[in-house]
Amino acid sequence: MELRIKELCKVKGILQKELAQKIGVTDIALRASLKGNPTIGTLEKVANALGVNITELFEKSQSNTAGITCPHCGKNITIKAE
């Protein structure tokens, strides 16, 4: 699942470096955390700093499609339910 933090930063007019300062971590630490498996605490801090609900940090799924990443080639595969 992709996080929308970059997108939300653009919308709010804030750089990720500024976001990191707001939540009390370095820019590098924030990027590393968000690339890996961020804790709920980190996500709460990010959501509060951006002034959004924590659910807004996650990519919205389309109602009748799902996506997976091929473990062999790394390509995205979209599955559409009818």
Domain that holds residue 71: 5-80
What number is the average pLDDT over the span 3-9?
A: 90
Strands 65-69 and 76-80: antiparallel
Q: What is the pLDDT of residue 42?
A: 92
Q: Which residue has the higher pLDDT, 72 or 15?
A: 15
The count of structural domains within the chain is 1
The three-state DSSP-derived secondary structure of 4-56 is CHHHHHHHHCCCHHHHHHHHCCCHHHHHHHHHCCCCHHHHHHHHHHHCCCHHH
> Which DSSP state fits 69?
E
Question: pLDDT tens digits for 16-68?
Answer: 999 999 999 999 999 998 888 889 999 999 999 999 999 999 876 555 666 77
Task: Return the CATH number at 36.
Answer: 1.10.260.40
